[in-house]
Amino acid sequence: MNTILVTGGAGYIGSFMTRKLLDEGYNVVVADSLERGNRDVIDDRATFVLGNFLDKEFVRNLFSNHSIDAVFHFASYISMAESMEKPGRYFENNVVSAMNILENIRNGNVPFIFSSTAGVYGNPIQIPIPEEHPKYPTNPYGESKLMVEQILSWFHKIYNLPYASLRYFNASGAASDGSLGEDHHPESHIIPNVIRAAIDNTPFTLFGQDYDTQDGTAVRDYIHVYDLVDAHLLALRKLSHKTLGLTYNVGTGKGYSNKEVYEMVKIVSGKDITLRVEKRRPGDASVLVADVTKIQNELEFRPQFSDLQTIVQTAWTYHSNALRSNNEE
């Protein structure tokens, strides 16, 4: 298995996946529309193809022009809040683009590793959350990911398509040297937003301090992007010689509260960040923590970088470097 297609390789996780695959000796084709990606983060060792996966002709040509041995699919919209405002765009972009790819690989025994989300579970009735937990997404983003999972299940049953759906909890962190990191526009994730408040000397807004948790703030399971891409490689190796259909939570099984994140950014940055508390956002669960028993047992997945201090320190290094670069331009 030599050539891997990374869709959305100009985005946060896709850029890390591309670098990891290249370092492991794979050939990588990155395909991205650059609608929300950044051309500058694509590794120069990869082959870059510009195009949109909603364009069926583009997708057909992509697979005709490149001999693809496996697909890592990251190309999707990711904002839960935006999906509530533009549900049609989310269903079209996230579901139809995946369908267009699957139609081109369904008979070729090409493994498809799918970037899914813990958002498929909705508000949990069991903590930690196992893979068999009921699926009740609370927004079109989570629903779109669940729809692709269901499509994959049918393609596996009908065409014997090998696939792995990886349900991320909270992807976080950055490269230890600050060369790659999280840079969404707009940014909805707490760690980069607290860091931005520290850098800009502006207040950080925390939504909700009345949750049923130890300190009253919501608790989330954070997985460092280094560990996340390692999980993808483990899934690929599991599928290399078997036509399996796999689904895994990707997290640590440990949660950190929003206030713990805020305090850690203060420690790492050395700055006293003003905290502003507003009422909780509709639909936010108190605790979202993964049951990682399955991925640990079947893939021997052991996160190495996902303690909160490492996550925040690497993210701080990235954002500090980005600020210096912008100031020098």
Query: What would the pLDDT profile of 262-284 be if each residue is shown by its tens digit?
Result: 999 999 999 999 999 999 877 78
Tokens of 159: 């065409």
Note whether residue 309 is domain-resident: yes
Same domain membership, residue 153 and residue 204: no
Question: pLDDT value at position 327?
Answer: 45
Whether the pLDDT of residue 1 is over 70: the answer is: no
Question: What is the share, in percent, of the chain residues with pLDDT greater than 90?
Answer: 89
pTM of the full structure: 0.95
139-185 pLDDT per residue, tens: 999 999 999 999 999 999 999 999 999 999 999 999 999 999 998 77
The catalytic position among 77, 141, 222, 262 is 141
Domain count across the chain: 2
Residue among 144, 315, 119 nearest 220 (CA): 119
| Cα separation, 283 vs 207, whole angstroms | 12
Q: The domain that contains 237 carries what CATH number?
A: 3.40.50.720
Same domain membership, residue 95 and residue 75: yes
Same domain membership, residue 283 and residue 313: yes
For tokens 């399955």, the residue is 294
Note whether residue 159 is domain-resident: yes
Whether the pLDDT of residue 323 is over 70: the answer is: no
Give Cα separations from 271 to 106, 151, 199 (angstroms): 52, 47, 9
φ, ψ of residue 252 to 5 degrees: the values are -115, -15
Note whether residue 267 is domain-resident: yes
88-99 pLDDT per residue, tens: 999 999 999 999
**What percent of the residues of the chain are helix, what percent strand, and what percent coil, each to the nearest 5?**
40, 20, 40
Range of the structural domain that residue 209 is part of = 175-220+253-290+305-328
Same domain membership, residue 180 and residue 162: no
- Any catalytic annotation for residue 26? no
